[in-house]
Structure 1
């Protein structure tokens, strides 16, 4: 399967990139950072340097790759968990404008499979953005994956699990792989 992975160098994106390429999928891994393109290539994927907010460039990248599946694993979160509230508007923009741009690019490219990251709780200041994001994905016939809070290496909770809902990052990636052919709908992935 040809998979366009938006958010390939994020905390779950890196794990999905490894699993997808190890399973023999042909993957285009999108990252905003030119410095991370070599990392994407080293994992066996085609690096795509792009920004989900540049709709024209995104459209060209998706159409050129001709994927069977577009996977939306984008967020805009800080490295410091205490600064999450400062990033609410930026992360909401990923959920709204970013999702619209990815869905539009997938549609023009004729992609019929779309998986998108969401959350299994309601972050403060994000009720409308999360609901709108999920509605857009479902209206397009995609799969919404509501993850619990990630924990494990590289997450905001590296040393132990947070309060529920939660999911270990490795388990989240492994269970996401089982959804590549899932029918449209909402899937909740948590440890609980």
Structure 2
């Protein structure tokens, strides 16, 4: 399958990319930073430098990739968890405007499938952006993957798991791969609550 992976250098995207390649998929992976394109290539993907907010460039890029599936793993989160409240508007913008642009580009490219990340909890004051994001994906017959709070290397919880819902980032990536063929709907990926 040809996959356009938006957010290929993120916490989940960088783990998904080699898994998708190992499963035999041809993956075009995006980054906003030319400095990170080499990482995508090292992980087995074809790097694409594009900004999700530049609709014309995004549409051309997705069309050039000719994907069967567009996978949305984009977020706009800070490196420091303490800065999340200050960056809330930027992450909500990814979920609304970024999602709308990615879905427009997928439609223009003739992609038959969409899979998009979401979250398995409601963030204070940002539930509307999450709901709009998920509704837009479901409206095009896509799959919404609601991840629990990620923990493990490279996450906000590198050494100590957060409260439930939660999931180890490597497990989240591994459990996403079989969802390429899932029927439209919402899938929650989280550790069992104990």
Q: Does 2:159 match 1:159?
A: yes
Report how far residue 135 of structure 1 moved. Answer: 0.4
Alignment of 1:73-112 (within 5 A): 73-112=73-112
Deviations 1:74-130, CA, capped at 9 Å, x for gaps: 000000011111110000000000000000000011111100010000111211100
Alignment of 1:69-148 (within 5 A): 69-148=69-148
Question: Alignment partner of 1:135: what SS?
Answer: helix
What is residue 52 of structure 1 aligned with on the other side?
A: 52
Compute the TM-score of the two structures, normalised by the length of structure 1.
Answer: 0.99
Aligned-partner Cα distance in 1 for 2:125–2:11: 23
Aligned-partner Cα distance in 1 for 2:155–2:14: 12
Deviations 1:28-80, CA, capped at 9 Å, x for gaps: 00000100001111111110001100000000000000000000000000000
Question: Alignment partner of 1:14: what SS?
Answer: helix
Aligned-partner Cα distance in 1 for 2:12–2:5: 11
What is residue 190 of structure 2 aligned with on the other side?
A: 190
What is residue 39 of structure 1 aligned with on the other side?
A: 39
What is residue 178 of structure 2 aligned with on the other side?
A: 178
Aligned-partner Cα distance in 1 for 2:86–2:29: 27
Compute the TM-score of the two structures, normalised by the length of structure 2.
Answer: 0.98
Aligned-partner Cα distance in 1 for 2:43–2:186: 29
What is residue 149 of structure 1 aligned with on the other side?
A: 149
Deviations 1:130-168, CA, capped at 9 Å, x for gaps: 000000000000000000000000000000210010000
Aligned-partner Cα distance in 2 for 1:20–1:108: 24
Report how far residue 21 of structure 1 moved. Answer: 1.1
